[in-house]
Amino acid sequence: MSRNRLNLVAAIVAMVVVVVGGFFLAVQPQLAQASDAHEQRSTVEANNAVSRTELDRLRAQAEKLPEMEARLKQLRASVPEGSDVAGFIDEIDRVASQAGVVVASYTTSDAVPYAPPAAAEPAPTAADTSTAASTPSATAAATAPAAPSVTTDPTITSGNFSVVPVTVAVNGTFDEALRFVSGLQSGKRLFLITAVSSTQQSGDDGTASGTSTWTFGGSVYVLDPSAVAASATPSDAPSDG
């Protein structure tokens, strides 16, 4: 091989080395940076999409804020922070006047701590009753409907929720008593009626009149929001100190 040809081959090899070296030293780092920038842009765009979704949700909630505040005010009046017996008596008098009945008596007892309802016993299965199917009681148990499930809120406890027993007696007709109950149960204060009784009144001549004394027993409730918030806080949460 002549010297000129060797020089040409050496020059070509040198050019290839320069090109390859330039690729690894200059082009490849730029490509890597471009790839990183693309990944970062994708991450930023994904985060922006999440932020836009959250902003839209907060904006929608902000539009409902007046409605939610009004609902909260109703709920706080329904189950106040204190017993507010005077306010409940005023509501009874107002509803009684609108219904046309006369309040005969009103009694209340001391508040008692709330006790969550116990879960109902499961209904007997066919296997449980197969051995005693010949008895009437077993047959009735086998065909009895399943007890409804009990739903409770773990943040509502005996430490923050109280029950105040109340008994109200009014004088009036059956229709007037119905209007009184309807008005009282749709009023501002939540009043759960659990017992109803009536006594027929007699007229001056001793005969039965159309008016009766209607006695309604039930409960109103008291909620301590600060105690609810405390019960909702995890007990193992780290303290500030």
Residue 65 predicted with pLDDT over 70 = yes
- Percentage, residues of the chain above pLDDT 70: 67
**Checking phi first, is residue 109 left (phi over 0); if not, alpha (psi -120 to 50) or beta?**
beta
| Mean predicted confidence (pLDDT) in 99-103 | 95
In three-state secondary structure terms, 201 is strand
191 vs 118, which has greater pLDDT? Answer: 191
pTM of the model: 0.58
pLDDT value of position 239: 47
Q: Is the pLDDT reported for residue 51 higher than 80?
A: yes
Q: Is 80 exceeded by the pLDDT of residue 31?
A: no
Helix (H, G, I), strand (E, B) or coil at 172: strand
pLDDT tens sequence across 125-165: 555 555 555 555 555 555 666 766 777 888 888 888 999 99
Asked whether the predicted pLDDT for residue 69 surpasses 70, the reply is yes
Asked whether 101 and 177 are in contact (CB, 8 A), the reply is: yes
Tokens of 26: 């200059």
What is residue 97's predicted lDDT score, i.e. its pLDDT? 95
* pLDDT higher than 50, residue 241: no
Instruction: Look at residue 137 in the predicted model and tell me its pLDDT.
Output: 54
pLDDT at 217 over 90: yes
Q: Please choose, from the candidates 122, 141, 120, 144, the residue with its C-alpha nearest in 3D space to the C-alpha of residue 130.
A: 141
